[in-house]
Amino acid sequence: MKSILLILTVASLAVAQNAPQRKDRPVFFDFRADRKVSALKIPAATQKMVLSKVFRKYLTDQSQCREGFVNNVDDYLAAARKAGQIVPAIVDMATGSFTAAGQTQTAYVIEVSECNASHADNFGTKRVAIFSGPKLVADMDVDFKSAILRKEDLNGDGIDELLMTTGDMAQGTVTEMAELVNFQNGRHNVIQDFGVVFLDECASLASGSKSKAAVLYSSGFAPGSMPTIGQDNYSASCRTPKRWRLLSHGKMPE
């Protein structure tokens, strides 16, 4: 998944944001825009502290994975986690108040990397572990989301929402999906599912290939009320990637 996230970033760098913006709507996130590539630097001691509190046992290198450690199971990934056949790593993080208002917390996004997890398994599950200092206060599966793009308390209740994404690459097509979530009361709550927000077919070299990207915008801030997040979708041909044209409103058409 780390390579997929890098490809998504490189793909977004290949296209410029020059389509007109609606000045009457605050932009929440523009998936046409350049995104800087910056390596997440987590001290080894922090990695060890976080992972050892989230997982009862785990491996530190893929070479330590054993073959045939599970047989005839319905949920291979769950069996791998139970057997400690995982090579987890922190891939993103944010600080804020996530489970309750007025807290100083850190949310760590963890790629669990179950041994031998395939592309069909999205290369393993993803989790968010929330810490208050050294104390683990929440730990949950986040349905393969592996990146935090924005943190914001949108309704003024003192609890931060996160815009999170997951990505995939198959047959030369790069796809990114997004959701607005929060972790109030230690639960993974999906506030809004945006579906596909970025799609680049250019590497497939197929006839008529194009790029598509969403622009998310908010209805404005009103204390005590969650703003509506709208979505406009744009497309550009691979030959003229800087010429974005409005494609649709709402979820991106397939």
61-65, 197-201, 225-229: range with lowest mean pLDDT: 225-229
Question: Is pLDDT of 33 > 70?
Answer: yes
Beta bridge partners of 106: 95, 131
User: Token pair of 154, please?
Assistant: 């949108």
Q: What is the pLDDT of residue 60?
A: 96
Contact between residue 57 and residue 64 where contact means Cβ atoms under 8 Å apart: no
pLDDT tens for 199-215 read 999 988 888 889 999 99
Q: What are the tens digits of pLDDT across the range 121-150?
A: 889 999 999 999 999 999 999 999 999 999
Answer yes or no: are the C-beta atoms of 194 and 136 closer than 8 Å.
no
Q: Would you kindly state where each structural domain of the chain is located, as residue ranges?
A: 2-249
Q: How confident is the model at residue 17 (pLDDT cuts 50, 70, 90)?
A: very low
Q: What is the pLDDT of residues 83-104, one digit of tens each?
A: 999 999 999 999 999 999 999 9
Q: Against a cut of 0.85, is the pTM above it?
A: yes
Report the sign of the C-alpha dihedral through residues 41, 44, 45, 47, in that order. Answer: positive
- Residue 9 predicted with pLDDT over 60: no
Going by C-alpha positions, the residue among 139, 190, 138 that lies closest to residue 164 is 190
Q: What percent of the chain has pLDDT over 70?
A: 90
Max Cα separation, the chain? Answer: 58
Query: Residue 170's pLDDT band (boundaries 50, 70, 90)?
Result: confident
pLDDT of residue 48: 96
**Dist CA 130 CA 98 (whole Å):** 8
Single-letter residue type at 128: V
Which comes out higher in pLDDT, residue 17 or 203? 203
Q: What is the pLDDT of residue 24?
A: 65
